[in-house]
């Protein structure tokens, strides 16, 4: 049976609320995901929350009932509460119907099976959580194996990144590595490293890309460091006809990722 918490000063509410801060997420190894759609996608991907909060008004919603049953069966803590507390937990003006608390899942490079997918995305010093979440969502769409985070990337488990990923956080494997670690790991097996750059004239539609390929995305304002570009097997440029010389990082990733997918589809 779900237990009930309706008091704002309840220690569990305070603890879960604190997961909106990276420091607390790291300490607990837990993060928040919100909304029926994301929690249902997590369940489909095989992930149930350690704690599930729902508003008593939505107890009869079929997806809520399914999540409650599955979470309880898996030994999770299910808490019925009130919309104001969900609002406090989520920080959104229109609180979601459900909030789940999940264990963070970051794997080392050694845990990745590069042959399991044709496309992998590698992000370097990405700063915007919305971009990171959107890149995960695009990765899911193009059948990428996962996302490898290099250097000082924004936390993929921040509320904003989880929200923007629309559940892809649960379907995409996430690894972290330093650049030198990544390059050593990459060169120990097959894999083409593709960088987008302004320092090349090679159009992104010209090369025939190999499998697996690793699509490297640089920081939003700086792009890739020159030394990282030198480690790439191939540098390509997305044509831009306008006044600006760059695309949004998540957009550039998607344009490249769909070119990779389209080449594979065409063969």
Instruction: Please report, as ranges, the residues that interact with a second copy according to CB under 8 A.
Output: 41, 44-45, 130, 134, 137-143, 164, 166-168, 171, 205, 238-244, 246-248, 250-251, 254-255, 258, 261-262, 265
Nearest approach, Cβ of residue 136 and a second copy (Å): 10
Core vs surface per residue 122-157: b (16+ CB within 10 A) or e: bbbbbebbbbbbbbbbbbbebebbbbbbbbebbbbb
148 touches 114 (CB < 8 A): no
Q: Which one, 143 or 190, has the nearer CB to a second copy?
A: 143
User: CB of 62: closest distance to a second copy in angstroms?
Assistant: 19
Report the nearest approach of a second copy to the CB of residue 221 (Å): 9
| Cβ distance to a second copy smaller for residue 81 or 219 | 219
Q: Which helix (H) or strand (E) holds 90?
A: helix 83-90
- Considering beta carbons, is residue 7 or 91 the nearer one to a second copy? 91
**Six token digits for residue 187:** 């060169």
Closer residue to a second copy (CB): 85 or 162: 162
Other CB atoms within a 10 A radius of the CB of residue 230 amount to 10
- Report the residue number, 71 or 165, with the smaller CB distance to a second copy: 165
Nearest distance, CB of residue 91 and a second copy, angstroms:
17
| Least distance CB 225 / a second copy (angstroms) | 20
* Residue owning tokens 């879960």: 16
CB of 52 vs a second copy, minimal distance in Å? 20
DSSP state of 176: E
Antiparallel, parallel or unpaired: β 98-103 and 30-34: antiparallel
E-state strands within the chain: 3-4, 30-34, 51-55, 77-81, 98-103, 119-124, 146-150, 173-177, 192-196, 213-217, 234-236
Rounded to whole angstroms, the Cα distance separating 115 from 129 reads: 28
Residue with Cβ nearer a second copy (183 or 251): 251
Smallest distance from a second copy to CB 249, Å: 10
CB of 184 or CB of 199, closer to a second copy: 199
DSSP state of 158: S
């Amino acid at each position: 049976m779900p237990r009930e918490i309706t008091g704002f000063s309840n220690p569990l509410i305070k603890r879960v609320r604190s997961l909106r801060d990276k420091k607390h997420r790291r300490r607990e190894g837990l993060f928040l995901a919100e909304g029926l759609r994301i929690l249902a996608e997590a369940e489909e991907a095989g992930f149930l929350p350690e704690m599930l909060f729902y508003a008593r008004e939505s107890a009869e919603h079929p997806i809520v009932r399914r999540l409650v049953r599955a979470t309880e069966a898996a030994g999770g803590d299910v808490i019925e509460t009130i919309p104001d507390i969900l609002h406090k937990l989520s920080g959104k003006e229109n609180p979601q119907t459900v909030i789940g608390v999940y264990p963070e899942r970051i794997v080392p490079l050694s845990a990745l099976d590069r042959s399991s997918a044709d496309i992998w995305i590698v992000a370097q010093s990405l700063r915007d959580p919305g971009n990171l979440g959107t890149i995960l969502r695009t990765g899911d769409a193009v059948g990428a194996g996962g996302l490898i985070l290099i250097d000082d990337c924004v936390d993929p488990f921040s509320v904003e990144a989880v929200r923007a990923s629309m559940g892809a956080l649960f379907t995409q494997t996430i690894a972290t590595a330093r650049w030198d670690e990544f390059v050593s790991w990459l060169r120990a097996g097959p894999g083409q490293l593709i960088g987008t750059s302004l320092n090349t004239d090679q159009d992104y539609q010209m090369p025939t890309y190999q499998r697996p390929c690793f699509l490297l995305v640089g920081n939003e304002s700086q792009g890739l460091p020159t030394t990282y570009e030198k480690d790439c097997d191939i540098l390509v440029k997305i044509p831009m006809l306008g006044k600006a010389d760059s695309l949004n990082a998540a957009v550039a990733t998607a344009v490249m990722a769909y070119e990779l997918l389209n080449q594979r589809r065409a063969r």
